[in-house]
């Protein structure tokens, strides 16, 4: 220790800056601090200077970042795959449900079937107004694919020059293909009716209804709904959709369609013309429908060519003839030619009552089908639902089943309306026909029961409509007669001075009997009781529609 002390005294104070001097042996400020922990240089926090570089990304941090990125990508891929699988499954379930609700021919391609199902589903949706522009686009896509020989139209040919432009000959195609093509054309025509007169703004490529177009043809345009584009000018617009008349004429002229299909198109065209107040062309189309229904009927014709009434000595008429004649008679009644409509309806009613009666089991609800086996259920799950069989062509006379009895009730209802509105003396007679219609419809609904199968749903719908309309007409007729009797009773004392008119009351203005007023008041109470009793028959007690009926795929 002695030499070190001598050296410390000899060396200058700034000798610690010498390169060979050991600084850790010198008294530094860290040693002079009275801290419990030794304050050494290598234990202090390093200070960052401009000459030093800090290493932020260490090896451990690199490994942690790689792990986190890998885990994030893994979870992202898993969640994306799960979302895509869920969306695809939901879409497949929806298409399977639509296929069972709106069957499509199996000869069509998958994309064509999707377009057709979606168009019909959007047309029949219950929430809000249908988007007819979108339905028109889907219907046009279906027809273009069906008429294209390179896609779905292999075997479709152009019709002869006698047919309207654009008419196709589908005689060589299968029956299910032709039936689907007919339904597509009818959907196309119905959509064209809803978009009648719509125009496209060429400057913005937006569709507008005709009532909002600003131009000479529409001097008082309706205002645009809030949130929509501004109304266009007529000179900037063009008609973009085809006319429904042209489409109906094409359907009636298409070779390959059945007589029933052409007749339905003619009746739909006539109804469209009547809606547009074109009664002359509408009458021609109704008569055209009658002519189509007589194509497969042997001569002589079972109707009178001048009055269109059925002959009494003729054999039972076909179903097509009964439908077309009923439509023609109701059109004549709406047009005011009651003298021509009433004989036709009476002859149709007589013909329906003379139809052959079916077996007793056909009038009752059929028993439920047997439960399929497990193997059959699995096959039904894996296979697409079958396309429905072709309906009757209507060339044969129908049988007098539940549906025909409900149609007889509807004829009673029509005749009652005509008699009640035709002349003053026929009011009570028309009221009697209306009562008979209500009794027949209610009897058939109670006979069908509440658990009618799919084969009797159409009959129940006809009976339910007939009963509802009959009850409404009956109540209005009786209420009007009751009001007239009360008004006549109130006027009688003023005119006759409280007694009979003239001298000694031998003649006068005619007294109103209290029994007449009481009669109509009593019948009003009867109608109220019948309405309460028929309420359960008029209600639709079917369960609400599900998103997907899993039980339907197990049906045979």
Residue 39 has phi, psi (to 5 degrees) of -95, 90
Q: Which residue has the tokens 């639709």?
A: 540
pTM for this structure? 0.77
How many other β-carbons are positioned within 10 Å of the β-carbon of residue 437?
Answer: 28
Closest CA to 386 of 105, 93, 91, 97: 105
The pLDDT score that the predictor gives to residue 524 is 85
**Strand partners for 215:** 218
Q: Which whole-number Å values give the CA distances from 234 to 59, 203, 208, 367, in the listed order?
A: 73, 12, 11, 62
The pLDDT score that the predictor gives to residue 136 is 94
Distance CA 412, CA 430 (A): 9
Closest CA to 169 of 75, 68, 47, 254: 254
| Mean pLDDT by groups of 10 residues along the chain of 556 residues | 50 51 50 57 60 71 92 95 94 88 91 94 82 93 94 90 89 94 96 92 89 88 87 89 94 94 96 94 95 85 87 88 94 89 92 82 47 63 81 88 89 90 77 91 82 68 88 89 82 50 36 61 86 78 45 39
Q: Tokens in use for 7?
A: 């050296």
How many other β-carbons are positioned within 10 Å of the β-carbon of residue 330?
Answer: 19
The pLDDT score that the predictor gives to residue 486 is 82
Residue 164 has phi, psi (to 5 degrees) of -60, 155
The pLDDT score that the predictor gives to residue 376 is 65
425-434 contact pairs (CB < 8 A, 24+): 427/477, 427/481, 430/477, 431/474, 431/477, 431/478, 431/481, 434/470, 434/473, 434/474, 434/477
Contact 98, 118 (CB under 8 A): yes
């Amino acid at each position: 220790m002695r030499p070190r002390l001598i050296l410390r005294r000899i060396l200058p104070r700034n000798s610690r800056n010498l390169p060979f001097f050991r600084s850790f042996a010198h008294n530094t400020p860290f040693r002079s601090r009275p801290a419990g922990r030794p304050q050494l240089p290598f234990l202090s926090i390093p200070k960052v200077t401009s000459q030093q570089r800090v290493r932020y990304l260490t090896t451990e941090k690199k490994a942690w970042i790689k792990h986190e990125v890998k885990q994030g990508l893994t979870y992202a891929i898993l969640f994306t795959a799960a979302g895509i699988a869920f969306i695809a499954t939901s879409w497949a379930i929806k298409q399977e449900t639509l296929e069972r609700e709106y069957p499509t021919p199996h000869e069509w391609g998958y994309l064509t079937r999707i377009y057709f199902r979606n168009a019909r589903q959007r047309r029949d949706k219950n929430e809000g107004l249908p988007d007819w522009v979108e339905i028109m686009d889907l219907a046009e896509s279906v027809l273009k694919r069906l008429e294209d020989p390179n896609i779905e139209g292999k075997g479709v040919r152009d019709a002869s020059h006698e047919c309207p432009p654009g008419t196709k000959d589908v005689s060589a195609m299968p029956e299910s293909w032709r039936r689907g093509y007919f339904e597509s054309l009818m959907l196309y025509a119905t959509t064209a009716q809803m978009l009648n007169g719509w125009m496209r703004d060429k400057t913005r490529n937006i569709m507008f209804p005709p009532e909002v177009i600003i131009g000479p043809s529409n001097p008082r345009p309706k205002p645009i709904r809030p949130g929509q584009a501004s109304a266009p000018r007529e000179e900037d617009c063009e008609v973009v959709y085809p006319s429904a008349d042209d489409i109906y004429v094409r359907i009636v002229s298409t070779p390959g369609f059945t007589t029933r299909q052409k007749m339905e198109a003619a009746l739909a065209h006539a109804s469209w013309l009547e809606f547009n107040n074109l009664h002359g062309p509408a009458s021609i189309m109704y008569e055209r429908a009658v002519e189509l229904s007589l194509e497969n009927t042997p001569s002589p014709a079972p109707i009178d060519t001048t009055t269109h009434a059925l002959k009494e000595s003729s054999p039972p008429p076909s179903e097509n003839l009964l439908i077309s004649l009923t439509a023609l008679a109701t059109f004549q009644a709406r047009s005011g030619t009651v003298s021509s409509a009433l004989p036709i309806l009476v002859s149709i009613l007589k013909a329906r009552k003379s139809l052959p009666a079916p077996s007793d089991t056909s009038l009752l609800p059929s028993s439920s089908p047997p439960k399929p086996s497990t193997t059959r259920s699995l096959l039904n799950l894996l296979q697409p639902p079958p396309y429905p069989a072709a309906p009757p062509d209507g060339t044969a006379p129908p049988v007098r089943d539940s549906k025909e009895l409900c149609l007889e009730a509807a004829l009673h209802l029509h005749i009652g309306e005509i008699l009640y509105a035709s002349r003053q003396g026929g009011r009570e007679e028309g009221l009697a026909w209306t009562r008979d219609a209500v009794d027949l419809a209610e009897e058939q609904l109670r006979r069908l029961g509440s658990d009618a199968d799919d084969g009797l749903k159409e009959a129940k719908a006809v009976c339910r409509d007939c009963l509802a309309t009959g009850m409404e007409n009956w109540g209005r007729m009786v209420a009007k007669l009751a009001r007239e009797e009360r008004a006549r009773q109130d006027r009688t004392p003023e005119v006759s001075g409280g007694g009979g008119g003239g001298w000694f009351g031998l003649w006068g203005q005619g007294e109103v009997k209290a029994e007449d007023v009481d009669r109509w008041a009593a019948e009003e109470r009867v109608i109220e009781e019948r309405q309460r009793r028929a309420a359960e028959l008029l209600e639709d007690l079917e369960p609400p529609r599900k998103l997907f009926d899993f039980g339907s795929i197990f049906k045979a």
